[in-house]
Structure 1
Amino acid sequence: MTKPTVVLDDLLDDLRQLVECESPSADQAAVARSADLVARLGAARLGVEPERIVVDGCSHLRWILGSRPQAERVVLVCHHDTVWPLGTLETHPYGVDDSGVLRGPGCFDMLAGLVMAWSAVATLPSADGITLLVTGDEEIGSPSSRVLIEDTARGARAALVLEASADGGALKTARKGTSMYDVVITGRAAHAGLEPEKGINAGLELAHQLCAVPALASVADGTTVTPTVASAGTTANTVPATAHFSIDVRAWSLAELERVDAAIRSLTPVLPGATIAILGGINRPPLEESSSKALFERAAGLADALGLPPLTAAAVGGASDGNFTAGVGTPTLDGLGAVGGGAHAVGEHVLVDRLPDRTMLLHALLADLLADPSEGDR
């Protein structure tokens, strides 16, 4: 098997430009500027302009290359938004140190994966059958892109997700599904000194519910139910009339997400007169190992044939857009992006010397899938 030529300088040049075009998810103007750059760089590498898709003000891009039918297509899933606010470059600029460690906001999660995708596709003998989707709101749960992701992946041969690798370069063969809730509690205000007995203390009700919710977790099933942000009241001398808290739920199976969902929606007030409203719900279905097994085995065989570092697999608690592609029944392999670490943290980094072999692996996997458009992976 012949190794493709990977031009590291091109990868690094594209990555530098993307990192230096800050793209925090919640800033739609910044995401739009980033989309302009992604479109320009991607068109230069692929020779084709992308389709620009704006949903609820958020900018997404899609390249549909060639004319193969959907059942023979391979979908590459990327995102160009990051968690870092504007101005982060002032304290954490792009740079590569003498040890070959590249740093910069969003470099690992997941801008390096995007430039790898361009390189891997551009060096194919034919890109007919590749769909490359680059969304702009993954880091905030993909509220505007979920339907686009599902529609793009539905019925495809495979979805390959260029999210950063797990520790040591492991591919992500399973991801927990996620649910997100906001519990809104309504009580009744009263003066805390003059007549507190006339109030219904929403903050006290919040405390009861905060203590009850973690019991919905299941250690045996790996299901976590975690109260996170919480607040109550308005002033220090007023019985709180309102309170709310958020809940983060992670589970390996849809059945567990549904069990917890039913339980959260059944929460009842402890204090007479208090009311509870539940907002939110199941956000991402799990990416179960059965969805990735055949693709991982194929990738591991290709890595061995090319003399690349042996592949390992990891199941992780974090979710990605790969949860959506797996949720519509498309075989999905995640974590094909850069090797490094520190996602969402000040130590975010990419190992430069691993960019070529990861890009070679992606190229080989794409070529292999396009050369054999059977239904064998399903």
Structure 2
Amino acid sequence: MTLKAASMPLNEDEIIEGIRRWVVAESPSHDAGGVEAVLDEVEKDFEGLPVTIDRRPGTGGYGGILKVATAEPSNEPSILVLSHVDTVHPKGTLTGRLPFHRDGDKLYGPGLYDMKGGAYLAVAGYRALVRAGVAPARPVTFLFTPDEEVGSPTSRAAIEEEARKAAYVLVTEPARDGGRIVTARKGVARFTLATHGRPAHAGARHEDGRSAIREMAHQILAVEGMTDYARAITTTVGLVKGGTAANVTPENCTAEIDLRVPDPETGAEMVARILGLQPVTPDVTVHVEGGINRPPYPKTAPIESMLARAQGVARAIGFNLQDCPMTGGGSDGNFTAALGVPTLDGLGIDGAGAHTLHEHGLVSSIVPRARLLAGLMETLR
């Protein structure tokens, strides 16, 4: 394969400085101002490039959505490059336990690995194509969203709208397991489970009470017992809240449930099981609401073909590209793959420690991964 992206100039120090600017603008999902500050930086990095910019105001207390297109609207299906700029780390992490810094091959900072590093690499790759006079194989649309880490409540519609106009989707979520990309993800469902009992004085009238927490204990064991590793099903009760005082039989209790499933059929089965939970304790009620919020992302034949093309690009650059088995984490790629649009995920920076205080990207992956993204823009015809 003759690949111009394999030899075009890329300045590692320039890219690191760009990543730094994005990372030091801390942007927890619920901090609209922080997200907008990152989008300001993103806009700066497209200045002087042949693009049109559409910045949409945020809704529901979240930041806005930034769409950058390399051509005027046309009927030609595009390459959609999908990135989120929100992070999970609370504001102050940067000046506290996880400052931006470099230690050898590791570049640290909140949200650097997941996923500001990868998002920046896509911009750097496109900028290098422009500087080298290389036209993308198709129009390219970059979409930067504000709320992926909390389920994309305000951006899903925009993501699906752009995906329907795309021939391919590239997701700049971080690489996995030493540089592997993602070609399949589990579907994600979320539920709220509520139990309602009867309050009573815990000492004087204990026999009159019906404990919502005791019932919740039964339900937690039932839900957690639905995990089936052989079928790639996991269930987790992650948050529980109930009761009013130690000496009162608790009237109410709530729990938040996370479900991961490998395919739509299994998803429908498990959603029905969880929504159908019944009380164990007499005189106590159980109510469940929720469902799938990220559909499963299976590895289809078109995705296999897209992977093979990406592997050819990587070989031309000089490295071996592999994908990882189905991952349990969800991303906005779940939405695009579910629409039948060939989607490659995990194309961002390599590293480790997402959502932790040792989150980092590998400097050695910066130039090869930027070339990979540029090469896909160059060749995905």
TM range (shorter): over 0.9
TM-score scaled by length of structure 2? 0.92
Which one of 158, 164, 183 corresponds to residue 154 of structure 1? 164
Conserved 8 A contact 1:155-1:329: no
CA distance, structure 1, for counterparts of residue 238 and residue 189 of structure 2? 13
Counterpart Cα distance in 2 of 1:326 and 1:55: 25
Say whether 1:26 aligns with 2:30: yes
* Structure 1 residues 176-215: Cα deviation after superposition (integer angstroms, max 9, x where no partner): 1111111011111111111122222101110111111123
The CA deviation at 1:71 is 5.0
- C-alpha separation in 2, matches of 1:70 and 1:175: 30
Which letter maps to 1:193? G
> Which of 252, 275, 278 is the aligned partner of 1:268?
278
Residue 211 of structure 1 pairs with residue 221 of structure 2: yes
Q: Following the alignment from structure 1 to structure 2, what is the Cα–Cα distance between the partners of residues 367 and 81?
A: 28
Structure 1 vs Structure 2 CA RMSD? 1.7
Gaps of 5+ in 2: none
- Please tell me whether the aligned partners of residues 51 and 69 of structure 2 are also in contact (alpha carbons under 8 angstroms): no
Structure 1: unaligned runs, 5 residues or longer? 373-378
2:91 to 80, 86, 93: 86
In the alignment, the residues of structure 1 paired with residue 273 and residue 92 of structure 2 have an alpha-carbon distance, to the nearest angstrom, of 42
Distance across 1 between alignment mates of 2:193 and 2:50: 47
Aligned-partner residue type, residue 334 of structure 2: N
Match of 2:101 in 1: 95
Give the letter aligned to residue 344 of structure 1. H
Matched, 1:64 2:69: yes
Map 1:179-198; keep pairs closer than 5 Å: 179-198=189-208
Contact 1:173 1:334 in 2 (8 A): yes
1:135 Cα deviation from its structure 2 partner: 0.4
Q: Does 1:126 align with 2:138?
A: no
Partners of 1:112 and 1:338 within 8 A in 2: yes
Give secondary structure in 2 for the equivalent of 1:74: strand
Counterpart AA for 1:166: R
Q: Compute the TM-score of the two structures, normalised by the length of structure 1.
A: 0.93
Are the counterparts in 2 of residues 299 and 365 from structure 1 also a CA contact under 8 Å?
yes
1:14 to partner: Cα distance: 1.1
* Match for residue 76 of structure 1 among 76, 81, 101: 81
Query: Partner of 2:306 in structure 1?
Result: 295
Structure 1, residues 332-358: CA drift from partner, whole Å, max 9, x if none?
Answer: 000100011111111111111210011
Letter in 2 for 1:93: P
Displacement of 1:96 in angstroms is 1.5
Distance in structure 1 (CA, Å) of the matches to 2:110 and 2:139: 32
Give the counterpart letter for 2:142 in structure 1.
L
Distance 2:375 2:350 in 1: 18
SS of the aligned residue for 2:157 comes to helix
8 Å CA contact 2:297–2:333 kept in 1: the answer is: yes
Aligned to 2:154: 144
SS in 1 for 2:14: helix
Name the SS of the counterpart of 1:179 in structure 2: strand
**Number of residue pairs the alignment of both structures matches:** 368
C-alpha deviation, 1:44, in angstroms: 5.2
Contact kept, 8 Å, 2:201 with 2:247, in 1: the verdict is yes
Look up the SS of the partner of 2:225 in the other structure: helix
Q: Deviations over 1:241-268 (max 9, x none)?
A: 0001111111110111111100111111
Q: Does structure 2 retain, via aligned residues, the 8 Å contact 1:55–1:145?
A: no
SS of 2:83's equivalent? strand
> Would the aligned equivalents of 2:52 and 2:71 in 1 still touch at CA under 8 Å?
no
2:21 to 17, 20, 24: 17
Change (3 A) 1:219 1:351: closer
Match of 2:183 among 173, 180, 186: 173
Partner SS, residue 216 of structure 1: coil
Q: What does residue 54 of structure 1 align with? A: 58
Contact kept in structure 2, 1:18 and 1:34, CA below 8 Å: yes
Deviates more, 1:53-62 or 1:297-306: 53-62
2:353 maps to: 342
For 2:107 and 2:194, locate their aligned partners in 1 and report how far apart those are by CA, in whole Å.
Answer: 43
2:366 to 323, 334, 355: 355
Question: Cα–Cα, structure 1 residues 46 and 198, in superposed 2: closer, same or farther, change >3 Å?
Answer: farther
CA contact (8 A) 2:76 2:139 kept: no
Aligned identity (percent) is: 37
